[in-house]
Amino acid sequence: MMRLEGRAPAKLNLTLEVLGRRADGYHEVASVMHTLSLCDTLTLELPPPESFDPARGAIHIIEPSDSPPLREAIPTDSRNLVWQAVARFVALTPSPSPTLWERGDARQRFWSAEASASAACGSGASALHIPLSRVGGEGDTGGEGNPSWRATLLKRIPSQAGLGGGSSDAACALRLLNHWAARYERALPDDALYALARALGADVAFFLKGGCALATGRGEQLHPLPTLPPFWWVLAKPYGVGVPTGWAYTQLGRGAVSPNARADHTERLMRLLPTIRTPRDLAPLLHNDFDAPILQAIPALAELRTLLEQGSALRVILCGSGAAQAALCESEDHAKALANTLRTHGYWTAVTRNE
């Protein structure tokens, strides 16, 4: 087994504007995103190609010993994006040993995608369809002994928080898989790896490179931007409160996107980004369209917002569509003091920097 380890950082939407519903049913968005120092740690244990069976995997989730449970509703079977990343990556690499995959229909399906790999990578998410319901479940080893591969996730990023933890884990898995594949001269080129990430989700594509980027379209059109100086943030959310993304979009009630729709907050931040030197420069430029409707719909988040503002945060915004919130602080000492106050009130909290 080859053992590989990587960091999977959280992200923050410095701006997030939802411009309207597109003809394809998705929403047109504009957002400036930035990675954070808060991260999960992913360890993959991968066999040589000739014995790699993506249908027989195992995902184990662990948490810091000083943290209450963060892993509510995080699946460890083929619903997990790390599992999907493994399955789809293997589907796009040449088959090392056809006899291994001819033993069962479910396994053959992984390699049947090989013939259309080039087309799939060129046409985005819709072409990269693999029947993941056939690749196993929690603890499933395909009835053939021990797992072929293993993933261990040290989770520091809570789920349904708007911080992109699951997407970042998947992007980290793709990077590690490509390192593994390079050893056997099977690495995917950058454009194919990006197409695969985009097929898994718009945020997955962002996390492949991280840093700071403008995201437009459904969020999959990415344009690199200069990173900010390192500022201190406090992230916080109530335990047991999550915000499903689909539900959050319904709270906005957006109609069809207009051809003349403008993302004024995002454009302003992009224009001023090179001039930002201090957290006070950044504070008035932060914006999230989900703030008002989500806080109105979930009183527990409104109560947390009050505490954050009472803690002298320079600005507080929702992380993505929630449920976490991000408070921009003057300094590390300010951030630590605010986080300690929130812990005494029973909230999950983390002190972090943009990076």
Q: Give me the active site residues, please.
A: 11, 203
Tokens, residue 52: 């790699």
Answer for the pair 33, 215: CB distance below 8 angstroms, yes or no. yes
DSSP state of 93: S
Answer for the pair 208, 192: CB distance below 8 angstroms, yes or no. no
DSSP state of 144: S
DSSP state of 50: G
DSSP state of 117: H
Answer for the pair 120, 188: CB distance below 8 angstroms, yes or no. no
Answer for the pair 149, 47: CB distance below 8 angstroms, yes or no. yes
Structural element, H or E, at residue 196: helix 190-200
Answer for the pair 110, 90: CB distance below 8 angstroms, yes or no. yes
Taking the CA atoms of 340, 290, 215 and 170 in sequence, report the sign of the dihedral they define. Answer: positive
